[in-house]
Structures are given as structure tokens and as C-alpha cells.
Amino acid sequence: MLFTTKGIVLHHFKYSEKSVIAKIYTEKFGLQSYILNGVRSAKSKNKAVYLQPLSLVEINANYKEKKGLQQIKTIQLAIPYNSVPFNIGKTSIAFFLAEILYKSIKEEETNYTLFEFLYNALQVLDLKETNYADFHLIFMAQLCHFLGIPPQNKGIDSKYIYFDLQEGVFLSYQPPHQAYTDSITSNLLIEVLNANFENPNLSLNYSDRKKVLTALLEYYNLHLSNFENLKSLAVLEEVLS
């Protein structure tokens, strides 16, 4: 049966001489793998823009439950980006977040709340003219809630705190293991956790961002695994340095 749904492109790879397989997080069916025939042919070069990381698309596709590979009939941009493809900083953030989502989202089921968060957040990134250097940090901090691993930061008022990466809690004492952040990084993390996309009110420098990102990636890796050796990380750090 054919369905129309909005989607967010996370990743794609070559399938044959003229076709690709795309991982798309859809509004109606969660994460799905789609085959796009002929997209790599000379006549379909314009379709490459649809497969850029985090493109917001609308697809018309067959859906068969418990089938690993679905067939796309048509694909088009639902909301074309105005700045993400043309701003190297935003492009680097988009590539990085696409890799984060590709590694963290495994659900082949509907999750409207998560989809709405992603869909709206990416439009905010596109529309922001300034103050987007910390966007990926706020994004990762908020994504934790949708992935079921939200850090607990209530009830701590001391500046001398530690973030227990294993338990996901802030403490006023050092945990009895090595998986924790120092007080400086812990306080930076709290700032990021309390920030929002529209008015982040953060004043992080490059060193601060690197500390927070390192902590978040370690946290993701402990709770979700497979977040080491990210291909897009070096480019992101270079561009935002």
C-alpha cells in the first residue's frame, strides 16, 4: 500500500550503479530503509539534494510491515533549507548531527514526539542568523530525553559538582569510579541542559564547547554505544574552532 509521509534523511549509500539505499526517519513509520532507483543516473542529478544529511523530505512509498527494505515511488523536499547547505558552519553541524541520529535512532515504529522535535529543531538551525555555534550541544542535550537517557540536574546548587556519566546524575562528591566530569565541565553541562535553541544565552568558547561535546559523546557512548571515531567530528571541530 502507498503512503505519503514526511521524513528526515539520515544517511544514504550506493546500492547499484544507479541506485542508493537511504535511511530516513519518517513521521509515520519511524526509521526506514528505502531503495531509490535511478537516483544516481545523469538524468536524476537534481535528486541528489534530497539525500543531503538532514534534508526534510516528503516521500510517497510502499510500506510493508516487517520488511527490511521499502520502495520509494517519489521524493521531494518538504521544506527546502535556505542557509544550511550554503553555510559551512551549519553544514558541518548538520553532517555531525546526522551521524549522531544515524547511530542513536533504531526505532522502526512511530514516535511523533521525537519526529516533531527533530523536524522543528532543524528548521530553527536553518533560520538562525547568529549564535548557532552551540546548537549541536543543545540538540544533543535535549535529544537525551527522547532517547530515554535524560541527565538529572535538579537539586544541585553547589558550583563544586561532578556529573556521573554512568548514572546520569550530578553529585556534590566524586563518584567511586572514573566515568565522571570535573566541576568545570559539569557546570558547563548544566548551562547547556538549561539552554534552548531560540535564546541559548550561552557564552562558551572553543575550549568550553570541546569539554561539553567530549562529555556528551562519552555519555552517549556509555548508554547507547558506538559513538567513538565519528567521521564528522574532526571537520565540525575544525570549522567551529
C-alpha distance from residue 36 to each of 23, 68, 157, 203, 212 (Å): 11, 14, 53, 43, 38
Q: Which residue has the cell 526509521?
A: 31
Mean pLDDT of 128-137: 93
User: Residue 13: what pLDDT?
Assistant: 85
Angle (CA) 94 83 131, round 5°: 75
Specify whether the CB–CB gap between 24 and 71 falls below 8 A.
no
Structural domains for the chain: 1-80 (2.40.50.140), 83-241 (1.20.1440.120)
Cell numbers describing residue 239: 570549522
pLDDT, tens digit, for every residue of 23-57?
999 999 999 999 888 665 555 555 667 889 999 99
pLDDT, tens digit, for every residue of 62-116?
887 767 788 888 899 999 999 999 999 999 999 999 999 999 998 888 999 999 9
